[in-house]
């Protein structure tokens, strides 16, 4: 599916049915040459601009009627004055730079609000809407799955800040919830992605005339997502670092931020280590007194630590940078042509400092800067360099060191942010932040490459949104009248075309082994490119130059020095010197350059700066063509970067250059979402009952045209079902005019507005919810029945097992009862014998002096044990038989003789407790209470509680959570 940014969703059904007709009418009036129609258009414009109080309410410029540069500019101006900086412009988002911090505009709460919203496009325009739509496109897995967010605009328009906000948004919403939320650990991939920004900006951004934080390189950041759309890694691709800025800074501009951070943020100990005492000035640090927000050395150091650059590596990096600054103070004085140039007295000290910081021999460094080596066959000849050549070699050394250090940093950052071995990324969201269009007083090869990159991005925007969409409308049979737009293909043909172009002529001139001549090169350009209307020359100018008509305006380029910069020669003796460095990092950076130099030496083909940049840019464009692009146009309201200052001339020039007005026209009248028939049925076929007819491969044997003819009725049926289910008017049936405004079926694709896509997605979501609910019901019913059957089976098994256990226990009790009966009979016989013996000995008791017995005890047949009376339990017979009505009583008994003493001890239970005697009963104990067995009769077992209390055949859950039933088996009533 091809989709636009969510800002296009503002064109809802109501606005399309009302305003769209008037917008189409305006198109016809603009194209007409009759004066009356022109007057009518002017009247509509004036009528629209009268109600100025309502202009700030236009969140989407497609609602503006009529759409003209004047009305669009006025809406942006009013919204800017109301501190509303984001506005939808059809398929793009327009962002006006406020040039001041806006509180709570990019806070964490705002991120969560847009991320959790069911329809983010219903919120106010924001960069987070674009980010969220790209993220949801990845979640939906609709082709193309991978997304690209292209942030374009002039230098100072706010591209870097916008890219920073996008990275922070994805690091927040795509973070894994299982990861511990600690902002101080290196393992957090989200933290590493965010910490790459301060380092990249410190080493790649600089303060220019148009922007205090201008990107002097291009970068494309791939945020890698796994199957769950969680952020697992990232990678950075860089393009054309402006390394010439290290040794040559334009007037009133500064070097890269990192040098000023070191100067202003280093401690006294670090200054001593870097040979940078207080008060020392450096030739390559102009405008050092100017302070910008990016001069934060501590933030850069903390980001290095979080990314895993240890203190030792940091020291090596800063020593290299300090050595580069010391090189800038080395100056040469000219002498005789046959002798090497001399160094100023103060320059010798600077050269020694540079050599010490770079860890290379000072003598060899001095020789390499003043003497060059020429090879004639197998022999090497040393030739002294002129003063200008010495300065060039010095600058070349500084540039090559800084460029290779920057490449090492990018590689280290990529290794730090790459996905772990346990995480595999499947899709990505790319963020493109390139240098903006530049036009200075003096423009050279750097500005030509930068503007060429912007031309390529503009051409991609034109091809994707303006030209391709309109051509596809015509091919698919839609009624469409072409909207005119500015096509920059002619300018691109001038710069990179074949067989003859600026780049081809520049590369050819650079490969010639002869001194560059700017005058001759200009003559050749006039001869070869005179037929191209996008290039011109000022014949009265004394300096060789050419002027290119870019999409954003004309730029005058100086030819002087352009060929040398394109060659970008690095003397091999300088590389050999750096390979001998004792600085581990510097040695590592240049260790693999020896093989490269040996391989390329002697070849006639030279890899120029233009060739490398063009190749890398082509790979970038290939990525953009294979992803779904989302464009954000950053606008610079005024050239002086003043807060909340709106200059109409500045803004209208940028709007016309990037084709915003044409984009609004096409977005308002067109269908931004296009889906092939098969993909449409595959996703939305479940809304009807015909999905089984369109399985994958069902029409693989048919021709493409026949397949589309077969699928067309199913597509129409799906659309009809969805539209008829929406009560958008008095009647549920929609008329054909409204139908055509929301959706149109072409020959091979379905063309939809964002409103129609929302209807389809909501309908699909409801159907999926119903199907999921039905599946859940069936599954829960199956689980419930299965659990019920298992419960019944378990209950039956329990009942059988318990009944078997009871039967076995009863059998054991019967056996035990028989044994007890036998023992009891023997014991009873013994007790009878003992009782007889006691009765026979009663006469002996009469002769002794015995205490008077208690009358009650005498009636019960009890005897006096001693003078001490204690509560006891009687257990034996015959005393138990005599005292049956008194289970616990104090008795007195006098026993003499061994036989009587044993009889007394056998008859009493005396459990001691705290020096007392306590009667114990068995009424509250489980198990067998008593056994009654009469000779020759049945045996009765008495239980306190039944062992089959919980044996339930048909269990049921009561309030106490216990299972009870009606099969409780009791052998006899509980005592």
In sequence order, the β-bridge partners of residue 673 are 752
Is residue 272's pLDDT more than 50? Answer: yes
For the segment 769-782, the average pLDDT, to the nearest whole number, is 93
**Residue 530 confidence (pLDDT):** 87
**Residue 67 confidence (pLDDT):** 80
Say what the alpha-carbon torsion angle 205, 207, 213, 214 is, to the nearest 10 degrees. Answer: -60
- Tens digit of each residue's pLDDT (9 = 90 or more) over 298-318: 999 999 998 889 999 999 999
Q: In what order do the strands lie in the sheet with 231-239?
A: 86-89, 92-96, 628-635, 147-153, 427-433, 218-225, 231-239
User: Which residue from 432, 425, 429 is spatially nearest to 169, judged by alpha carbons?
Assistant: 429
Please state the three-class secondary structure of 118-151 as a single string: CCHHHCCCCHHHHHHHHHHHHHHCCCCCCEEEEE
* Choice between 920 and 345, residue whose per-residue pLDDT is larger: 345
**Residue 412 confidence (pLDDT):** 93
Which secondary structure element, helix H or strand E, spans residue 221, and what is its range?
Answer: strand 218-225
DSSP output for 164-205 = HHHHHHHHHHTS-TTS---TT-TT-HHHHHHHHHHHHHHHHE
Of 491-500, 636-645, 869-878, give the lowest mean pLDDT range.
869-878
Is residue 527's pLDDT more than 80? Answer: yes
Angle at 696 between CA 695 and CA 697, to 5 degrees: 110
**Residue 839 confidence (pLDDT):** 67
User: Tokens for 638?
Assistant: 């005024």
The C-alpha atoms of residue 563 and residue 508 are separated, in whole angstroms, by 10
Of 96-100, 531-535, 706-710, give the lowest mean pLDDT range.
706-710
SS3 19: helix
- Tens digit of each residue's pLDDT (9 = 90 or more) over 329-362: 998 887 776 678 888 888 889 999 999 999 999 9
The C-alpha atoms of residue 327 and residue 321 are separated, in whole angstroms, by 10
Is residue 725's pLDDT more than 90? Answer: no
Of 31-35, 455-459, 713-717, 778-782, give the lowest mean pLDDT range.
31-35
Cα distances from 752 to residues 50, 211, 438, 716, 782, in angstroms, run 34, 41, 38, 13, 42
User: Which residue from 384, 353, 352 is spatially nearest to 369, judged by alpha carbons?
Assistant: 384
Residue tagged 């949104």 (tokens): 465
Is residue 920's pLDDT more than 60? Answer: no
Is residue 915's pLDDT more than 80? Answer: no
DSSP output for 561-624 = THHHHHH----HHHHHHHHT-S-HHHHHHTTTHHHHHHHHTT-S----HHHHHHHHHHHHHHHH
- Tens digit of each residue's pLDDT (9 = 90 or more) over 932-959: 555 555 555 554 444 444 444 444 444 4
- Judge contact between 60 and 86, C-beta under 8 A: no
* Those residues with Cβ within 8 angstroms of residue 717's Cβ, 6 or more apart along the chain or in another chain: 688, 690
Whole-number percent of the chain with pLDDT over 70: 72
Of 269-278, 307-316, 624-633, 828-837, give the lowest mean pLDDT range.
828-837
For the segment 647-676, the average pLDDT, to the nearest whole number, is 79
For residue 855, what pLDDT band results from cuts at 50, 70 and 90?
low
- Tens digit of each residue's pLDDT (9 = 90 or more) over 127-148: 999 999 999 989 887 777 899 9
- DSSP character at residue 897: S
Is residue 414's pLDDT more than 70? Answer: yes
The C-alpha atoms of residue 820 and residue 931 are separated, in whole angstroms, by 9
For residue 705, what pLDDT band results from cuts at 50, 70 and 90?
low
- Judge contact between 948 and 800, C-beta under 8 A: no
SS3 9: helix
SS3 301: helix
> What are phi and psi for residue 957, nearest 5 degrees?
-90, 115
**Residue 4 confidence (pLDDT):** 37
SS3 72: helix
**How many other CB atoms sit within 10 Å of the CB of residue 208?**
21
- Judge contact between 205 and 300, C-beta under 8 A: no
Phi-psi region of 685 (alpha: psi -120 to 50; beta: other; left: phi over 0): alpha
Say what the alpha-carbon torsion angle 468, 474, 478, 482 is, to the nearest 10 degrees. Answer: 70
Residue tagged 């399309």 (tokens): 16
Is residue 870's pLDDT more than 80? Answer: no
- Judge contact between 423 and 232, C-beta under 8 A: yes
- Judge contact between 292 and 207, C-beta under 8 A: yes
CA-based torsion, 105, 110, 115, 118: positive or negative = negative
- Judge contact between 317 and 585, C-beta under 8 A: yes
Using CB atoms within 10 A of its CB, is residue 682 exposed (0-12), middle (13-18) or buried (19+)? middle
The C-alpha atoms of residue 146 and residue 164 are separated, in whole angstroms, by 20
The C-alpha atoms of residue 115 and residue 781 are separated, in whole angstroms, by 37
Cα distances from 382 to residues 193, 367, 376, 386, in angstroms, run 49, 10, 11, 13
**How many other CB atoms sit within 10 Å of the CB of residue 914?**
5
User: Tokens for 815?
Assistant: 């056996």
Say what the alpha-carbon torsion angle 229, 234, 235, 238 is, to the nearest 10 degrees. Answer: 100
Cα distances from 421 to residues 417, 418, 686, in angstroms, run 12, 9, 39
User: Tokens for 216?
Assistant: 């002097």
Is residue 863's pLDDT more than 50? Answer: no
Of 201-205, 780-784, 925-929, give the lowest mean pLDDT range.
925-929
Which stretches of 364-446 are assigned E, i.e. beta strand? 371-376, 379-384, 427-433
User: Tokens for 606?
Assistant: 């030279």
Which secondary structure element, helix H or strand E, spans residue 913, and what is its range?
Answer: strand 912-913
**For 541-544, which contacts have Cβ atoms below 8 Å and span 24 or more sequence positions?**
544/518, 544/519
Angle at 303 between CA 297 and CA 304, to 5 degrees: 90
* Those residues with Cβ within 8 angstroms of residue 631's Cβ, 6 or more apart along the chain or in another chain: 5, 91, 92, 93, 150, 152, 461, 465
Whole-prediction pTM: 0.67
The C-alpha atoms of residue 117 and residue 131 are separated, in whole angstroms, by 13
Mean pLDDT (the chain, rounded): 76
- Tens digit of each residue's pLDDT (9 = 90 or more) over 476-508: 777 766 666 777 888 999 999 888 999 999 988
User: Which residue from 174, 782, 244, 133 is spatially nearest to 561, judged by alpha carbons?
Assistant: 244
Is residue 200's pLDDT more than 60? Answer: yes
* Those residues with Cβ within 8 angstroms of residue 146's Cβ, 6 or more apart along the chain or in another chain: 138, 427, 428, 429, 430, 626, 627, 628
The C-alpha atoms of residue 73 and residue 69 are separated, in whole angstroms, by 6
- Judge contact between 876 and 835, C-beta under 8 A: no
Of 28-32, 99-103, 933-937, 960-964, give the lowest mean pLDDT range.
28-32
Is residue 710's pLDDT more than 90? Answer: no
Among 213-227, 326-340, 502-516, name the most confident range: 213-227
For residue 793, what pLDDT band results from cuts at 50, 70 and 90?
very high
For residue 180, what pLDDT band results from cuts at 50, 70 and 90?
very low
DSSP output for 668-732 = HHS--EEEEHHHHHHHHGGGSS-GGGS-TTTTTTS-HHHHHHHHHHHHHHHHHHHHHTS--SSSS
DSSP output for 454-485 = HHHHHHHHIIIIIIHHHHHHHHTT----PPP-
- DSSP character at residue 557: E
Please state the three-class secondary structure of 765-796 as a single string: HHHHHHHHHHHHHHHHHHHHHHHHHHHHHHHH
The C-alpha atoms of residue 276 and residue 274 are separated, in whole angstroms, by 5
User: Tokens for 485?
Assistant: 């737009």
């Amino acid at each position: 599916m091809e989709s636009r940014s969510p800002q296009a969703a503002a064109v809802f059904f109501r606005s399309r049915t009302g305003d769209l007709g008037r917008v189409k009418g305006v198109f016809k009036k603009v194209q007409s040459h009759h004066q009356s129609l022109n007057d009518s258009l002017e009247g509509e414009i004036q009528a629209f601009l009268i109600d100025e109080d309502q202009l700030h309410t236009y969140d989407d410029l497609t609602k503006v009627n009529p759409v003209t540069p004047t009305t669009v500019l006025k809406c942006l101006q009013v919204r800017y004055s109301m501190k509303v900086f984001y506005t939808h412009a059809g398929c793009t988002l327009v962002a006006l730079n406020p040039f001041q911090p806006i509180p709570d505009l990019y806070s964490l709460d705002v991120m969560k609000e847009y991320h959790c919203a069911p329809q983010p496009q219903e919120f106010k325009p924001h960069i987070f809407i674009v980010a969220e739509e790209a993220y949801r496109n990845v979640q939906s897995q609709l082709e193309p799955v991978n997304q690209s967010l292209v942030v374009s605009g002039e230098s100072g328009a706010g591209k870097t800040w916008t890219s920073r906000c996008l990275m922070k948004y994805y690091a927040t919403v795509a973070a894994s919830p299982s990861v511990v939320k600690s902002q101080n650990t290196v393992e957090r991939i989200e933290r590493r992605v965010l910490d790459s920004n301060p380092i990249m900006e410190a080493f790649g951004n600089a303060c220019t005339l148009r922007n205090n934080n201008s990107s002097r390189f291009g970068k494309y950041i791939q945020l890698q997502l796994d199957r769950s759309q969680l952020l697992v890694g990232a990678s950075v691709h860089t393009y054309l670092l402006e390394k010439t800025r290290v040794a040559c800074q334009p007037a009133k501009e500064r070097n890269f931020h990192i040098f000023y951070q070191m100067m202003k943020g280093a401690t006294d100990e670090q200054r001593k280590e870097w040979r940078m005492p207080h008060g020392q000035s450096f030739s390559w640090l102009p405008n050092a007194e100017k302070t910008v927000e990016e001069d934060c050395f501590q933030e850069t150091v903390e980001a290095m630590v979080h990314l895993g650059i240890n203190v030792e590596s940091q020291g090596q990096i800063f020593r290299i940078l300090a050595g580069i600054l010391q090189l800038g103070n080395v100056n040469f004085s000219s002498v005789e042509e046959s002798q090497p140039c001399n160094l100023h007295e103060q320059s010798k000290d600077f050269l020694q400092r540079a050599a010490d910081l770079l860890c290379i021999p000072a003598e060899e460094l001095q020789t390499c800067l003043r003497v060059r080596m020429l090879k004639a066959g197998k022999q090497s000849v040393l030739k002294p360099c002129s003063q200008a050549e010495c300065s060039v070699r010095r600058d070349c050394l500084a540039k090559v060191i800084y460029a290779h250090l920057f490449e090492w940093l990018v590689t280290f950052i990529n290794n730090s942010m790459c996905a772990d071995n346990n995480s595999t990324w499947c899709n990505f969201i790319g963020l493109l932040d390139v240098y903006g269009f530049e036009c200075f007083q003096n423009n050279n090869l750097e500005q030509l490459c930068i503007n060429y990159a912007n031309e390529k991005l503009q051409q991609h925007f034109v091809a994707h949104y303006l030209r391709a969409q309109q051509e596809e409308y015509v091919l698919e049979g839609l009624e469409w009248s072409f909207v005119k737009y500015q096509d920059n293909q002619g300018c691109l043909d001038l710069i990179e075309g074949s067989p003859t172009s600026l780049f081809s002529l520049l590369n050819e001139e650079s490969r010639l082994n002869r001194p560059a001549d700017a005058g001759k090169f200009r003559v050749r350009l006039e001869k070869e490119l005179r037929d191209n209307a996008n290039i011109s020359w000022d014949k009265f100018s004394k300096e060789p130059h050419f002027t290119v008509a870019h999409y954003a305006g004309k730029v005058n380029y100086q030819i002087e020095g352009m060929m040398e910069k394109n060659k970008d020669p690095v003397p091999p003796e300088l590389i050999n010197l750096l390979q001998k460095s004792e600085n581990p990092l510097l040695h590592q950076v240049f260790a693999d350059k020896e093989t490269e130099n040996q391989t390329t030496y002697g070849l006639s083909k030279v890899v120029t700066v233009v060739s490398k940049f063009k190749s890398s840019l082509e790979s970038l464009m290939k990525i953009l063509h294979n992803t779904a692009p989302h464009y954000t146009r950053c606008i610079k309201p005024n050239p002086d970067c003043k807060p909340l200052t709106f200059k109409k001339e500045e803004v209208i020039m940028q709007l016309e250059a990037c084709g915003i007005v044409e984009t609004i026209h096409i977005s308002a009248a067109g269908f931004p979402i296009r889906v092939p028939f098969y993909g449409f049925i595959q996703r939305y076929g479940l809304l009807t009952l015909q999905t089984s007819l369109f399985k994958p491969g069902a029409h693989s044997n048919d021709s493409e045209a026949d397949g589309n003819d077969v699928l067309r009725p199913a597509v129409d049926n799906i659309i009809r079902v969805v539209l008829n289910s929406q009560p958008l008017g008095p009647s549920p049936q929609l008329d054909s005019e409204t139908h055509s405004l929301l959706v149109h079926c072409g020959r091979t694709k379905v063309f939809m507005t964002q409103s129609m896509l929302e209807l389809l997605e909501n309908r699909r979501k409801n159907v999926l919810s119903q199907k999921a609910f039905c599946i859940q019901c069936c599954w829960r019913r199956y689980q419930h029945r299965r659990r019920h059957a298992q419960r019944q089976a378990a209950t039956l098994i329990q009942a059988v097992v318990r009944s078997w256990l009871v039967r076995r226990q009863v059998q054991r009790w019967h056996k035990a009862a028989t044994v007890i009966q036998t023992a009891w009979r023997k014991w009873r016989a013994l007790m009878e014998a003992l009782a007889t013996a006691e009765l026979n000995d009663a006469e002996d008791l009469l002769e002794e002096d015995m205490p008077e017995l208690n009358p009650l005890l005498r009636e019960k047949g009890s005897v006096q044990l001693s003078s001490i009376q204690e509560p006891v339990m009687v257990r034996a017979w015959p005393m138990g038989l005599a005292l049956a009505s008194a289970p616990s009583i104090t008795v007195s008994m006098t026993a003499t003789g061994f036989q009587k003493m044993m009889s007394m001890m056998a008859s009493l239970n005396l459990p001691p407790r705290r020096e007392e005697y306590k009667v114990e009963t068995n009424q509250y104990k489980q198990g067998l209470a008593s056994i009654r067995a009469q000779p020759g009769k049945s045996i009765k077992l008495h239980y306190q509680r039944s062992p089959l209390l919980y044996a339930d055949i048909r269990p049921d859950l009561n309030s106490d959570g216990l299972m009870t039933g009606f099969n409780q088996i009791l052998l006899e009533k509980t005592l």
